[in-house]
Amino acid sequence: MTDPSSRQTVLGDPRDYGFTALSPRLWHGMTTWAWASLVGPRLMQVDPRRYPLVATVTMASLVNSASALLTQGLYFNAIRSTEITEDPVFIIGFQRSGTTWLNELLACDPRFGFPTNLQCLMPETYLLHRHFMRPLMKWAVPRTRPMDNVDLDPDTPQEDEVALLVSGVPSPYRLMAFPQTVSTYRDTLRHEQDDPAARTRWTRAWLRFLTEVQLANPGKRLLLKSPSHTVRVERILQIFPKARFIHITRDPYPIIRSNLKLNESLTATQGLQGRPADQNVVIEELLDGFVEFHEVYDEAKAAIPEGSLVTVAYEDLLEDPEPVLRRIYDTLDLGDFAPVEAPLRAYMDKRAEYQVNSYDRDPDLIRAINARLGAYFETYGYQRYPEPERQAGA
């Protein structure tokens, strides 16, 4: 692997990603309890340059805590009387596989309800504050996500894992705050799977949030997207036995490169530590996690009933989305495709100028991926990149 000194090991500047000192972060939607559970155990690891951010989040958390109590009081009966209309449709796949793109395309169907950016960024207070926070978010939050050019509109789809993170539930996404603890992602998912108490707590928080999403989308079937749900398939089926799953795959080379960019951008904009983990350590953890992730999924998918799972390739979806979506609807019996056609084409016209990130080919990374991800290549039919010849003396 490349000499660590040649890879980024310094804290990125949030301004490089459109964030100013006043831009809200994920943590600004937390209650005091959720914020304390995140930052309290590692308070001494917070970089002094992040002290102003910690101070503003702490003040916001006090307001959020009071608002959360008021929300629960005002909406208690409405939440308690709300039932999830139909077992949801889940978009799964490794992060940066194209789950967001697929989610946005399917969200064109007016029959689906989904968690929005605004709801996931303030899950405890959304019902109370949604109307006046919507224009505020448009003003305060950068127009696009830091890792790509996807819009950050308050009403566009967001993954429910973000809401769990902001609610204070132990989430693999806590890695954003303390990026030097690179094993956080896998460790959290393992603990969640192996510890009955952690699993129960996660399930209760998740179902509470989904009920509030359903309350905001009466009569609609929920569309949920989260890479982490890929390793939760068996547990999801215990709760929603008639759930539908759409698994998206992608060439592993851009997946890994995109995840490295994701790590850098989220460390710069959301991180509380002074520097990210060494990139070589991140790459090793990422490759190990990729293998383990798919081993767990490949074993769990056998439990999905026939007709409840479809696998699609990101490359096909990018080239021509409509036939891929039609196959999804036919395979999963999601109903007539006709109501989707007009809003889908309008959305595609709107996104016509969107450019997918491109990456240079890193010879060492190509060798590492070729050596480690053989099972993925064989299972999903992707081809290994040719390995560059090593230079003499290298």
Average pLDDT, consecutive stretches of 10 residues, N- to C-terminus, the chain (394 residues) = 44 66 88 96 90 95 97 96 96 95 96 96 94 77 64 87 94 87 73 82 95 97 96 95 98 93 86 81 91 93 96 95 97 96 91 70 90 94 83 51
pLDDT at residue 16, as a whole number: 61
Two structure tokens written together for 192: 């969640």
Does residue 99 sit within a domain? yes
Going through 122-268 in order, the beta strands assigned E by DSSP cover 221-225, 244-249
- Domain harbouring 141, CATH code: 3.40.50.300
3-state secondary structure at position 101: helix
- End-to-end C-alpha distance for the chain, whole angstroms: 11
The span from the CA of 63 to the CA of 70, in Å, is 11
Residues 223 and 91: beta-carbon distance below 8 Å: yes
CB atoms within 10 A of CB 273: 19
The span from the CA of 354 to the CA of 318, in Å, is 11
Does residue 325 sit within a domain? yes
Does residue 16 sit within a domain? no
The span from the CA of 284 to the CA of 280, in Å, is 6
Comparing CA positions, the residue from 216, 210, 189, 191 lying closest to residue 90 is: 210
Phi, psi of 259 (to 5 degrees): -70, -35
Residues 115 and 154: beta-carbon distance below 8 Å: no
* Total domain count, the chain: 1
Q: Residue holding tokens 């690179």?
A: 182
Does residue 73 sit within a domain? yes
Does residue 85 sit within a domain? yes
Distance of CA 56 to the CA centre of its chain: 25
State which residues form the domain around 358.
Answer: 26-380
Does residue 53 sit within a domain? yes
Does residue 167 sit within a domain? yes
Does residue 21 sit within a domain? no
